[in-house]
């Protein structure tokens, strides 16, 4: 049965990789906890859900469930956690001093890439954690998004469950998609205009609001229109209300909320104009 499943899986892969011997690529050993480092460049922050998992590991601790941490030896010779941060914290809480580990050798970019690969397949990783890992691994689009956010002083360090403050966003996945559709300057301009229009507004830089504004900026720039008109409209726009109106349109006529939101924002731009943007 298992051979049949393996044959089926093998048949679905276009090109089988050459797999080296495990003993040539991995090192199995028991490692002192004090020798293990967490790289905050790509590792997840401990959320409420993460703390629940940690307390569960502590209260139900069993070595057979604990397994082995996945570590990577960096260029500096230190051992970095790739997978097992929650288990490591639980072990420290239990005053365990030595843990089993599977060790590879990798650069920080390689460690971050491994983090994304392991956790995407096996667990649910928040988009912001995955984004930070892609930035650390050298992903071009993710790095471009981070560069824009840094230039505009926009933070992605938003606690789970908290509202988004001024100059804060969780919409990194949406921004990556926007960069794949539009030039970086257009996305940058849209973000800058939103912040200038409502500098103290909470929950401003949401995926919906950004996703609605960027296409309108793109259309206006392509048509050679003055962005001052849009700037005034953005000052007066309540994106929560706009989203509700877009959702109602979706119920009545179909489509996607973001797309309908873009149409509604364009209507505001076109109001009173002879030559309208399409």
CB 195 within 8 A of CB 228: no
Q: What does the pLDDT look like over 229-267, one tens digit per residue?
A: 999 999 999 999 999 999 999 999 999 999 999 999 999
Higher pLDDT, 206 or 117: 206
pTM above 0.85, yes or no: no
Give domain 23-137's CATH number out of 2.40.50.100, 3.40.50.720, 3.90.1530.10, 3.40.50.2300. 3.90.1530.10
Looking only at the bridges linking them, the beta strands covering 79-83 and 36-37 are parallel
Q: What does the pLDDT look like over 177-207, one tens digit per residue?
A: 999 999 999 999 999 999 999 999 999 999 9
Higher pLDDT, 276 or 262: 262
CB 233 within 8 A of CB 198: no
Residue 5 phi, psi (nearest 5): -65, -40
Report domain extents, the chain.
Answer: 23-137, 140-270
* Residue count of the chain: 278
Residue range 38-56: mean pLDDT, rounded: 71
Residue reference for tokens 């049965």: 1
pLDDT at 137 over 50: yes
Residue range 270-276: mean pLDDT, rounded: 81
How many Cβ atoms sit within 10 Å of the Cβ of residue 24? 6
CB crowding 140-153: b at 16 or more within 10 Å, else e? ebbebbbebbeeee
Q: What distance in Å separates the CA atoms of residue 67 and residue 71, rounded to the nearest whole number?
A: 13
In this predicted structure, what is the pLDDT of residue 258? 95
Indicate the pLDDT class of residue 17, thresholds 50, 70 and 90: confident
207-222 vs 184-197: helix axis angle to the nearest 10? 120
The sign one gets for the Cα dihedral 185, 200, 249, 247 is: positive
Residue 11, C-beta contacts closer than 8 angstroms, at least 6 positions apart: none
pLDDT at 122 over 90: no
């Amino acid at each position: 049965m298992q051979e049949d499943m393996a044959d089926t899986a093998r048949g679905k892969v276009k090109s089988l990789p050459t797999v080296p011997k495990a003993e040539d690529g991995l090192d199995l050993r028991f490692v002192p906890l004090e020798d293990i480092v967490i790289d905050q460049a790509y590792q997840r922050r401990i959320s409420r859900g993460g703390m629940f998992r940690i307390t569960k590991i502590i209260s139900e601790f069993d070595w057979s469930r604990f397994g082995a941490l996945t570590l990577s030896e960096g260029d500096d010779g230190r051992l970095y956690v790739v997978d097992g941060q929650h288990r490591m914290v639980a072990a420290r809480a239990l005053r365990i001093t030595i843990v089993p580990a599977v060790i590879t050798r990798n650069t920080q970019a390689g460690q971050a890439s491994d983090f994304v690969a392991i956790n995407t397949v096996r667990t649910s990783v928040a988009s912001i954690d995955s984004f930070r890992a892609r930035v650390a691994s050298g992903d071009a689009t993710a790095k471009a998004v981070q560069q824009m956010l840094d230039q505009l002083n926009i933070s992605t360090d938003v606690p789970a469950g908290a509202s988004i403050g001024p100059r804060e966003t969780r919409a990194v996945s949406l921004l990556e998609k926007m960069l794949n559709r539009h030039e970086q300057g257009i996305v940058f301009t849209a973000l800058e205009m939103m912040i200038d229009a409502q500098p103290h507004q909470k929950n401003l830089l949401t995926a919906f609001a950004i996703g609605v504004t960027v296409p309108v900026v793109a259309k206006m720039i392509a048509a050679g229109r003055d962005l001052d008109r849009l700037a005034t409209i953005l000052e007066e726009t309540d994106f929560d209300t706009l989203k509700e109106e877009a959702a109602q349109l979706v119920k009545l006529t179909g489509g996607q909320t973001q797309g309908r939101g873009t149409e509604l924002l364009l209507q505001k731009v076109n109001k009173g104009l002879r030559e309208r943007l399409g």
